[in-house]
Amino acid sequence: MQNAQLTILGCGSALPTKRYFPSAQILTLREKSYLIDCGEGTQIRLRQMKVTNTRFGHVFISHLHGDHCFGLVGMISSFGMLNRTADLHIHAHADLQRLLTPMLQYFCADLPFKVIFHHVDPEKHQLIFEDRSVSVYSIPLKHRVPTCGFLFEEKPKERNIIREMIDFYQIPVSYIHKIKQGEDFVTTDGETIPNTRLTTPPKPPKRFAYCSDTAYNEKIIPIIEGVDCLYHEATFAEEELVRAGKTMHCTARQTAEIAQKANVKKLIIGHYSARYSNPEIIYNEAKAVFANTIAGEDMKTYEF
């Protein structure tokens, strides 16, 4: 089974550059993929990276600034031309449905699939989606419009069977599922075989947090505590601290401080201001505070 993967389609901010497209990324957990934000040009990156139009069924939109959602109509229209039939679920602030529905009715009237909206309250930390393998929670953020991040948590895996022990104790196939779930086994002679002798522990569930866009906000720390990977905006260098405060964004140093205080395992920064042709200054400022920092790049995949 593959590791968890984050593929960045765009890690720029509001103004696109030659190097960075606006926000969009694909998270893959348990071989299922989820699109997080959908800035302008997302479908171009999908085509460039040869991502099929059926790769994901759920889209999570953090907030209604154009660099996080302007790519939706174009992407949905192209999916229709590519004969996608699987429904597309969009999780976002309720206003997105009100704004997007007229455009879909005008430009995408004959889609061979349904676009289904799920309203998210960005002011609450709550479960907003789950399936058999993952749970997704909203993370309230501080920005100029209602905004939330997303916490993806794998559900615990079953324990791993030790085949030799199963054969030794002649355990029926019908009972193996219970053993994977942690039950002991009682032989026909009444001997109890502890589960720890029959199985090994599963790998710990992976946790990923996405936090963009936001001002410095320590309230998110308990929510993202100890995540395997945190993607957090680092729009400005420290020299633009005042501007960061006015626009309700973070500097690289502030982002690294959040990662440090939350004891995350890996930090990926992004949402760079277009004023930086090279994010080296941002990366260096973050890495000086939090050593395991990666400067996100468009069209790259990171495992964790």
Residue 1 has pLDDT above 90, yes or no: no
What percent of the chain clears pLDDT 70, i.e. is strictly above it? 99
Q: Half-sphere exposure of 232 toward its Cβ, with a 13 Å CA cutoff?
A: 37
In whole angstroms, give the CA distance from residue 139 to residue 211: 8
In whole angstroms, give the CA distance from residue 63 to residue 49: 25
Q: Half-sphere exposure of 38 toward its Cβ, with a 13 Å CA cutoff?
A: 21
Which residue is catalytic, options 37, 67, 228, 298?
A: 67
| Local confidence band at 2 (pLDDT 50, 70, 90 cut-offs) | low
Residue 115 has pLDDT above 80, yes or no: yes
* pLDDT score, position 3: 80
**For residue 208, how many other CB atoms are within 10 A of its CB?**
28
Residue 67 is a catalytic residue: yes
210 close to 38: Cβ distance less than 8 angstroms: no
Rounded to two decimals, the pTM is 0.93
Average pLDDT score over residue span 120-147: 97
Note the pLDDT tens digit of each residue in 261-296.
999 999 999 999 999 999 999 999 999 999 999 999
Residue 132 has pLDDT above 70, yes or no: yes
Distances (CA, A) of 183 to 163, 171, 178, 193, 199: 16, 13, 6, 9, 10
Contacts of 190 (CB under 8 A, 6+ apart): none
Listing DSSP states for 155-196 in one string gives PPPPPEE-HHHHHHTT--GGGHHHHHTT--EE-TTS-EE-HH
In whole angstroms, give the CA distance from residue 192 to residue 102: 64
In whole angstroms, give the CA distance from residue 184 to residue 110: 55
Pick the CATH number of 5-157+203-303 from 3.90.1570.10, 3.60.15.10, 3.40.50.300, 3.40.50.2000: 3.60.15.10
Domains of the chain, by residue range, sit at: 5-157+203-303, 160-200
Write the secondary structure of 38-58 as one string of H (helix), E (strand) and C (coil). Answer: ECCCHHHHHHHCCCCCCCEEE
Note the pLDDT tens digit of each residue in 41-93.
999 999 999 999 999 999 999 999 999 999 999 999 999 999 999 999 999 99
